[in-house]
Structure 1
Amino acid sequence: MTDEHPDVERGSMFGMPILKAGRKAFASWYDGALVLKLGEPDLTAAALAYVR
Structure 2
Amino acid sequence: MKSAVKELEEKGKAAKAASRKLAFLSTGVKNKALLNIADALLDKLNEI
Q: For the superposition of Structure 1 and Structure 2, which TM-score range results when normalised by the shorter chain?
A: under 0.3
Q: Choose between structure 1 and 2: higher helix proportion.
A: 2
TM-score with structure 2 setting the length: 0.26
Q: Choose between structure 1 and 2: higher strand proportion.
A: 1
